[in-house]
Structure 1
């Protein structure tokens, strides 16, 4: 089985490494040729789009947005579907798109007898590294068991949530939960700091109760250490929140909390901090309250 992978960013690189650990043949392509070379040193093969279209059975994508996904697959001059020979069986798209984008892409690929699986992931870089991502799969029921097996090296959970587009909906729901949690955690930390509470003691006290969460465990230490090295950037999460609110608008839903959190993220990105981890949203709350939250 040959696996193709396009998009070797924060999430793509560790996923490729985990496929390689399982002795898979992995062909890679990225606009950043230094990143390609890094993966070649790990055992991958850097190839052209033409070779990718001809040689791989399963093509994984990990790309920033829907426009780039479409360009890579069919709208770009050198896209996969514009190659003289296309042997790709399934495109497994781990990018975070809107449901409408996923459906549009699926229809185009279906005309070329290529299955499109919307398979956004959750867990960030740490779980991408350990191969323990959660994948929310939108696909034809007949494709599911095959896709589940292919994804085993990169995920601890591969759950089909419905037909194509459903994975994107569930990822949007996931991003609401994650990003509102981070914003709420930021407010809680600022409140505690204002009253000179020992933040580590606060964390340990809360940890055993209902407020304990994976988000808190992952992001609280980064907040108080001012460690904004990204697992998931503010830019990417703002994009996801925009997808949440635009998708809600298309079906007449009002999501006041998501809209408010989106505006907070937008404000922090406007300060030039878009490449920070989204735990860095605490800087917004520090700034509006004219205070600092650190261990020192």
Structure 2
């Protein structure tokens, strides 16, 4: 294990746990915290030190990586955690949150004594485990240069995008494509299957065209098997990110009418088992809509007399 100061990891969900595993594999010391302590055990088994509170995890560390669920969780943990005192630590926030929330965090953390970078990633658990995440960074450029040795453990080419918010706007733009491409492919596949067209013939034409995208090949087996278990990126996260994109796009005066219907479709998965499945489970939402029930016949008029 490295003799350098350990790194604090706040949040050990699907992505956070993979980031932690990668850092441990690189010989870095790691102090880990999660609001659900049982989720720390896989990393503890690999050599991480479990901490009962975020403050305990952060206190002896220079670098803090936050991979928390959403903006409210970031505010709660980074700004309001009990006994948490910032003393010059560098916070690298890697979750997907609203750009405006990230700017608020940067200002608030600076006032409390910490430096801040946003560093959302393209990729999920497999890429984190192999150190091939695409990392987009925004914030102070000098701080980015200081963070590079740590970021290079997670991705081969971390890229600085400029002021706080710019990396997250880029991330949201990319995740909007995940949602839109998956939805478009699902609808097309639903149509050819409903029409009795041979799926492999359809795919052969698609592969030979400019319309083809690698994500279609990646998700096709799941869609054909209707098997969305073992997600790296669940439906609930896709919906969250799409709603964040819509909010940011509206702030910039963009017309989001066409995309709002996809958000409405994904709302149908909220609080259902689909939310925890792979996001390509939206294929279940694009299938044939049951016809409306026949209206009840009008009640017979009462007989007089």
Taking structure 1 as the reference length, the TM-score comes to 0.89
How many Å separate the matches in 2 of 1:123 and 1:257?
Answer: 26
Relative to 1, partners in 2 of residues 1:128 and 1:217: Cα closer, same or farther, differing over 3 Å? farther
How far off its partner does 1:197 sit? 3.0
How many Å separate the matches in 1 of 2:14 and 2:270?
Answer: 19
1:66 corresponds to which of 66, 71, 80: 71
Partner of 2:58: 53
**More deviation, 202-211/61-70:** 202-211
Q: Deviations over 1:160-215 (max 9, x none)?
A: 11111111111110111111000001011112212323324533442343223232
**More deviation, 124-133/237-246:** 124-133
Q: Deviations over 1:21-73 (max 9, x none)?
A: 11000110012222212210011111232332221111111111111101111
Structure with max Cα Rg: 2
In the alignment of these two chains, the number of paired residues is 285
Which ranges of structure 2 fall in alignment gaps of 5 or more residues?
Answer: 292-305
Residues 88-107 of structure 1 mapped to structure 2, 5 A cutoff: 89-107=89-107
How far off its partner does 1:20 sit? 0.7
How many Å separate the matches in 2 of 1:182 and 1:188?
Answer: 10
1:17 corresponds to which of 1, 5, 21: 21
Relative to 1, partners in 2 of residues 1:271 and 1:114: Cα closer, same or farther, differing over 3 Å? closer
Residues 155-234 of structure 1 mapped to structure 2, 5 A cutoff: 155-229=155-229, 230-234=231-235
How many Å separate the matches in 2 of 1:139 and 1:276?
Answer: 34
How far off its partner does 1:242 sit? 1.2
**More deviation, 197-206/221-230:** 197-206
How many Å separate the matches in 2 of 1:119 and 1:214?
Answer: 25
Partner of 1:238: 239
Partner of 2:301: none
Which ranges of structure 1 fall in alignment gaps of 5 or more residues?
Answer: 291-296
Partner of 1:263: 264
Contact 1:89 1:114 in 2 (8 A): yes
Contact 1:116 1:164 in 2 (8 A): no
Partner of 2:151: 151
> Is the partner of 1:269 in helix, strand or coil?
coil
Contact 1:102 1:164 in 2 (8 A): yes
Contact 1:244 1:258 in 2 (8 A): no
Relative to 1, partners in 2 of residues 1:156 and 1:220: Cα closer, same or farther, differing over 3 Å? farther
Contact 1:232 1:278 in 2 (8 A): yes
**More deviation, 120-129/63-72:** 120-129
- The runs of at least 4 aligned residues of structure 1 exceeding 6 Å deviation read none
Aligned alpha-carbon RMSD (Å): 1.9
> Is the partner of 1:274 in helix, strand or coil?
helix
Q: Deviations over 1:97-140 (max 9, x none)?
A: 11110000000111133111111111122322322111111111
Taking structure 2 as the reference length, the TM-score comes to 0.87
